[in-house]
């Protein structure tokens, strides 16, 4: 079979299997966080870190600029001096959790992005979010890993291919962002 057609066929299957109610709930929680003036935190590794940064950009600028209601959003992936200090002095597994201990408050929201659902630094961030009284959403694939059991709202991509999991996460990001860009003021 042609690689391009096969890749897209499997991507469509992953999209068709997506729990759209979970996606709607995640979008609603993001909107509620903005409405209540709460902080939204994002984290992930590798491609998931890039998705976290992209989501922060699109919500922070695209869905906020020129609007009376703005998103307070931080990608915990973006402060490299803090990340490297924590990784060097405490351990890589603490890079997101320790930032949350400084910044997170009860009622804030964490979106934890992990293709495997088993990244220790992401799982530690979810654990700390729970200790602080924050809500958590997990975007994952590969059956969800440990993340699916730890978060308040899992959104699991039905794929065991990292590329397709990341593709769907990018689509989730745009489904949420463009809802606020196109449908809300």
Q: What is the pTM of this model?
A: 0.97
For the chain, the domains span 3-182
CA distances from 93 to 49, 56, 79, 121, 128 (A): 14, 22, 16, 4, 12
Q: Among 3.40.50.10860, 3.30.70.3270, 3.40.50.10490, 3.50.50.60, name the CATH number for the domain at 3-182.
A: 3.40.50.10490
The token pair that represents 109 in the structure block: 């929201």
Nearest to 140 by CA among 112, 167, 100: 112
| pLDDT for 1 | 79
88: CB partners within 8 A, 6+ apart: none
What is the overall mean pLDDT for the chain? 97
* 32-50 pLDDT, tens digit each: 999 999 999 999 999 999 9
Spatial CB neighbours of 113, under 8 Å, sequence gap ≥ 6: 42, 43, 44, 48, 49, 51, 52, 122, 138, 139, 140, 169
Buried b / exposed e over 101-136, threshold 16 CB at 10 Å, is: eeebeeebbbbbbbbbbebebbbbbbebbeebebbb
Average pLDDT over residues 170-175: 98
99-157 pLDDT, tens per residue? 999 999 999 999 999 999 999 999 999 999 999 999 999 999 999 999 999 999 999 99
């Amino acid at each position: 079979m042609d690689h391009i057609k096969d890749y897209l066929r499997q991507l469509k299957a992953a999209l068709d299997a997506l729990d759209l109610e979970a996606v709607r709930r995640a979008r609603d929680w993001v909107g509620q966080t903005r409405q209540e003036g709460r902080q939204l935190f994002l984290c992930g590794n590798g491609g998931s870190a890039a998705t976290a940064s992209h989501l922060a950009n699109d919500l922070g600028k695209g869905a906020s600029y020129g609007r009376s209601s703005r998103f307070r959003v931080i990608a915990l992936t973006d402060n490299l001096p803090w990340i490297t200090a924590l990784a060097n002095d405490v351990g890589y597994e603490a890079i997101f959790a320790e930032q949350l201990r400084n910044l997170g408050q009860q009622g804030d929201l964490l979106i934890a992005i992990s293709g495997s659902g088993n990244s220790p630094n992401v799982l530690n961030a979810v654990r700390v979010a729970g200790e602080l009284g924050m809500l958590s959403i997990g975007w994952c694939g590969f059956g969800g890993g440990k993340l699916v059991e730890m978060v308040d709202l899992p959104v699991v991509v039905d794929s065991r291919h990292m590329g397709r999991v990341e593709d769907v996460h990018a689509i989730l990001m745009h489904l949420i962002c463009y809802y606020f860009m196109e449908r809300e003021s």
